[in-house]
Structure 1
Amino acid sequence: MASVRLVGVLPHLDRPFEYAVTPATQAAGPGMRVRVRFSGKDTEGIVLGRHAAPTTDRALAPLHRLVSEDVVVPPAMMRVCEEVAERCAGTVGDVLRLALPPRHARAEKADRAAAEKEPEAGEPAEPRRPRRLTRTHSPPPPAPGTVTRDSPPCSRAPAARRDRCPAPASPWTRTTPGPRSPPMRSETSIPSRERSSSPPISGTSPG
């Protein structure tokens, strides 16, 4: 028989349950995921351990299915989940529900295949072949005075016009700013008496 901790059950059902091991689930061990029938529903559980005899005289329900042979909850992780549930006044089933990631069968198969390819203890590992690096040859620099596509526009000009090209400014020199033009006086800054040059028109009485 196997002692199973159910995942995500009600608080008053947060305790281990015993299930009978069938020939199809004979490989079930501590820390593995299984599926069991609980209250007429297919429920996920974690195997806590295997025992020779049950602690009750009632007939045990069998393990429905072994989800994976990978140990997803080691004993140390189970103790941590129990301590978290006790400290936070929660249930172990809820802590397991939040701690367990979704199952990916493809990732589990890839991990098993990688583990089988690893050399066994005592056997020398196959030396890795060094990676062959290809050296890229850069073109030689152009000769002095040669005009290329990347040359500045002045250097591509005819020789008679190159004297008119300004000398390139050094990145370390700082150009001195020229004199600034006085700011323009806005209409709001001009006094009201200067806005109109014509004298004000005096009113005439009708007559």
Structure 2
Amino acid sequence: MTDAGGKVLEALDPAAGRVQVISPDLGYVMTDLLRGPVKLYLGDLGSRPVAGKSGTTEAYTGSIFIGYTPDLAIAASLMHIDAGASCNSGYAYLATNFPPSGWQCPTAVLFGENVGASVWKPFVEDYYSSHPWPAMWAQPAGVVTRQVCAYDGGYVSGGGYNEIFLKGVGEPRYPCGANPYPGQPPYRPPAPSPSPSPAH
């Protein structure tokens, strides 16, 4: 990491010890979850091995997007400068825990997805315009895919959607319809598709 003048502020020591803090299985599940914001906010990056999460500060005065690929980790931030004690943007009321100030009075709202789309995504695209994209993360043996239904997350043999689970942990153990939410109408399996008429 360098400053604007090229001075090295921090450098990776390849000889330093490494401590694995989570298992590869849990890392894969978390990465799968974090691919959701990328698919939602960052367009075609959703089909790439990219994961990340947006964040927004009090009163929408600043935003962050932190994400990674198999070989790159990036954090980006946009913040309003302190414009003084007075502000007429109309957003000061959103800062419920802080007295109004230049930081709590933005001239426009900043959401985490704003910095993702306007700063983070262009940086990633520029980097990979001159570097090969890495392969998609491989699903480890300790992560399993199960088909579940949208009604209550129970397992189904067909007509549902695929979800991943840590093997033996959190996998659905009841059939679809057995665990309705309070007040939810009873589950009705979808009608089977009619068989096509034989050709004459």
Q: TM-score, normalised by structure 2?
A: 0.20
Larger radius of gyration: 1
